[in-house]
Structure 1
Amino acid sequence: MKPRSLIRRLAGPLAIGLTAAVLLAGCGGDATGNEDAVGDDGKVDLSQVTLIVGDQKGGSQALLQAAGLLDDAPYKIEWKEFTSGPPLLEAMSSGSIHVGGVGNTPPLFAAAAGGEFKVVQAATYGGAGDAIVVPKDSPLKSVADLEGKDVAVAEGSSANYNLLAQLQEAGLSYGDVTVKNLQPADALAAFSGGHVDAWAIWEPFTSQAEIDADARVLADGSKLANGYTFQVASDAALDDPATAAALEDYLARIAQAQLWSQTHKQEWAKAWSEETGLAEDITLSAVDNRQVQVVPIDDTVVESEQQMADAFTENELIPDEVDVSSYFSDEFNEDTTGKAVSQGADR
């Protein structure tokens, strides 16, 4: 049986959002809301800018606060929280947010749905935190044993690609398992209740499953997943001078905070624990599983993401081939890998 196209299941809200964006453009509207921050001389007053940021629990806001990089921001930040990357990008398509942090997979599905955005900052956390877990006493010993089993995963998330890659490596297709499309909280409940045989997830949920749900890792993505995490900005935000000026500063702060987290693991684990309500041993385990490197948006990143997109297309999870290169921008590389590295070293 061929798997039903993921993009058809995920594109509905995206299509609605894109339609709304088109209608706004047709009416001459500008969804950034920062037009008044640009003076008659063309200069931007950042104190008049509000940057609307999509976030996930224990994500960018918590990291920036822990690193001490929010206090002196010269613009206002309005935070909006999402359960994972796909709904965050749906909100971006509808014009509700300017920028947000996602994993390596959500931009591929958003690109296939015709989203209007660019990936503008990148880091890799390694693939070890992306894992497929099973109950500790499960008879399943390898990925090949998943054939015919129920697997929970948030479709369109980074864990979705890891699951696909692991199945392919084991000689299975995506259709050889029964996928249960569940966001992390629901997936944890299903896993703990014995309603699924396995769960494909990312940190800190991998460590939470191991420590709180007595899970063991069946396979991790250390050899198959690129571990990229991205900041994604809407085209409307990038085209607006005031919002783009705030983005330049914000992305540099994100990169600095990511570097800080690698050299201040205990501090970050404590802050992450306080933000999420997870026990500190869980967040410390998650931090230890992630080896952070800030990387430029370059051919290496784009080619890796293109390979992922092609794999989804080959498995009919994305219905048509998509060229992802036009959805990546190196405009902020100097701010995120040059200035950020030098400034981050001083913190």
Structure 2
Amino acid sequence: MLILFAPAWHAAGARSNAALAAPLPDQVPPGVVLRVGEPVARWVFQHNGWDKQLPFRIEWAEITGGPEVTEAFHAGALDVGAGASMPPIHAVWTGIPVRIIAFREYADRARRNAYVFGIAPNANIRTLADLRGKRIAFSPSQVQAQIVLETLKAVGIPRSAVTLVELPSSIGGDVYANALASGAIDAAPIRADLVAQRYIRDYGPDGAHLLKHPPFRDDGASLYVPETVLANPGKAAALRLFTQYWGRAQAWINTHPEELAQGYFVGKRGLPLADARLMAAYTANLSVPRRWDEAIAYEQSAIDTLAPETRHPRFNAATLFDRRFEGLAADGAALIPGNPS
């Protein structure tokens, strides 16, 4: 008689798929710990005492940005990461199945971009059409890569007509800003918050300037979790609660920008008050959508844009989202009186 044994990874995958298809558990057993990389949320939770109200413990990690989160997931050191459009996609492409459990966007995204192009002094770039033949910073695991490729497509510049310089972006934007200032690159997508303001403040007198990219979305951000974490019933039940509190935190930020500026950006980050208020203004006005249809379309655009460039397979963005969590963050946001989004 022939007996066939399934490989261990296949059996584990089958158990994970079964767990993800089941309703979310609602009972958190004793001893559950969630390891979360979300510095701003950490301050909001602790400032309001919410972490003490939860029936599980949060171990906060100072881990932000796609590359760091992916590395932490690989090492099994993190349960929840935060990132823009590309990090969850890149995690899948590097062999870590993840699911998005919460999503946020600018409430006024029709009038506001999260990124602009920083232009180096003496780069001779006055319009986006002048990017032809130039050196552009490119980080394939981050949203900046999507911004570069969609901009080139929008202005009709083929990929072969530019030099993409692979350079991971730091959260503070110093890597790109320094590369621009030194002349190592000609253009780079940088955050349209304090990063852009500092760049112009420091290098504007030398000829540095900013250009807006064409009108496409660049503002989405999410919480994402390895499927192996979601397959753990205790952690899944804890994530159900955490997601609601995370949505509540986004709404609290919207209604308390001055408190965030002074408490977090001045008190924790050490920024001057004027810079702190600028950062708080960009961190506020966040919307937590109740439905994810537009979020899925946003992620699909990122997949379709980056897959050919990075030689990774295209896949259905809907498989990135754990729709059992859909609406939970919005439920939390609704608990904050006066939340405009």
TM-score (norm 2): 0.79
- SS of the aligned residue for 2:73 comes to helix
CA deviation digits over 1:109-132, x for unaligned, max 9?
Answer: 222334221001000033512121
In the TM superposition, residue 71 of structure 1 has moved relative to its aligned partner by 4.3
Residue 247 of structure 1 deviates from its aligned partner by 1.0
1:62 aligned residue: 43
Of residues 162, 169, 185, the one that matches 1:196 is 185
2:136–2:188 CA contact under 8 A, matched in 1: yes
Per the TM alignment, residue 305 of structure 1 is displaced from its structure 2 partner at its CA by: 1.3
Residue 312 (structure 1) aligns with: 306
Q: 1:44 to 1:321 in 2, by over 3 A?
A: closer
Mapped pair 1:115 → 2:96: yes
Aligned equivalent of 1:264, options 256, 259, 262 = 256
Cross-structure match for 1:169: 154
The reply to whether residue 50 of structure 1 matches residue 57 of structure 2 is no
Kindly indicate whether residue 66 of structure 2 is the aligned counterpart of residue 72 of structure 1: no
CA distance in 1, matches of 2:247, 2:194: 20
- Please list the CA deviations of residues 281-331 of structure 1 after superposition, one character each: whole Å capped at 9, or x if unmatched: 3343344345311113522211221122112234x2243222221111121
> Alpha carbons of 1:54 and 1:341: their partners in 2 closer, same or farther (altered >3 Å)?
closer
Determine the C-alpha separation between the residues in 2 that align with 1:330 and 1:43. Answer: 19
SS class of match (1:276): coil
Q: Which amino acid aligns with 1:304?
A: Y
Contact kept, 8 Å, 1:129 with 1:220, in 2: the verdict is no
Partner of 2:65: 84
Number of the residue aligned with 2:195: 205
| Cα distance in 1 for residues equivalent to 2:333 and 2:93 | 33
Partner Cα distance (1:149, 1:284) in 2: 35
Q: CA deviation at 1:226?
A: 4.2
8 Å CA contact 1:120, 1:297 repeated in 2: no
Establish whether residue 97 from structure 1 lines up as the match of residue 78 from structure 2: yes
Measured in 2, the distance between the counterparts of 1:63 and 1:137 equals 42
Equivalent in the alignment of 1:35? none
Q: In structure 2, which of residues 204, 221, 229 is the aligned counterpart of residue 237 of structure 1?
A: 229
User: 1:159-201 deviations in whole A, cap 9, x for unaligned?
Assistant: 2211221121111134433223133233232223332222212
Deviation at 1:51, TM superposition (A): 0.6
Are the aligned partners of 2:143 and 2:218 in contact in 1 as well (CA < 8 Å)? Answer: no
Is it true that 1:224 corresponds to 2:213 in the alignment?
A: no
Map Cα deviations across residues 23-72 of structure 1 (whole Å, 9 max, x no partner). 9959x9xxxxxxxxx9xxx95335x22111124xx543234345554343
TM-score by length of 1: 0.77
Unaligned runs of 5+ in 1: 1-20, 29-37
Judged with a 3 Å threshold, the aligned counterparts in structure 2 of structure 1 residues 224 and 165 are, in CA distance, closer, same or farther, namely same
Q: Distance in 1 between matches of 2:180 and 2:269?
A: 20
The one-letter code sitting in structure 2 at the alignment partner of 1:319 is H
Residue of structure 2 equivalent to 1:325: 318
Report the aligned-residue RMSD.
3.1
Other-structure match for 1:182: 168
Q: Distance in 2 between the 1:122 and 1:168 partners?
A: 26
Corresponding position: 1:151 with 2:145:
no
2-side partners of 1:252 and 1:213: how far apart? 42
Q: 1:289 to 1:51 in 2, by over 3 A?
A: closer
- Residue 235 of structure 1 deviates from its aligned partner by 1.1
The 1-side partners of 2:217 and 2:132 are apart by: 21
CA distance in 1, matches of 2:104, 2:93: 22
| 8 Å Cα contact 1:129-1:286 kept in structure 2 | no
Aligned partners of 1:268 and 1:212: how far apart in 2?
26
- Provide the rounded CA distance (Å) in 1 between the counterparts of 2:202 and 2:241: 38
Partner of 2:294: 300
Counterpart residue type for residue 246 of structure 1:
A
Do the aligned partners of residues 272 and 331 (structure 1) sit closer, same or farther apart at CA in structure 2, a change above 3 Å counting? Answer: farther
Change (3 A) 1:320 1:261: same
Residue 246 of structure 1 and its aligned partner are, at CA, apart by: 1.5
d(CA) in 2 for partners of 1:68 and 1:178? Answer: 49
Structure 2 Cα separation of the partners of residues 60 and 22 of structure 1: 34
| Counterparts in 2 of 1:268 and 1:318: CA distance versus 1, 3 Å | farther
Is the 8 Å Cα contact of residues 66 and 142 (structure 2) preserved in structure 1? yes
* CA apart distance, 1:220: 4.2
Whether contact under 8 Å (2:113, 2:218) holds in the other structure is no
Percent identity over paired residues: 23
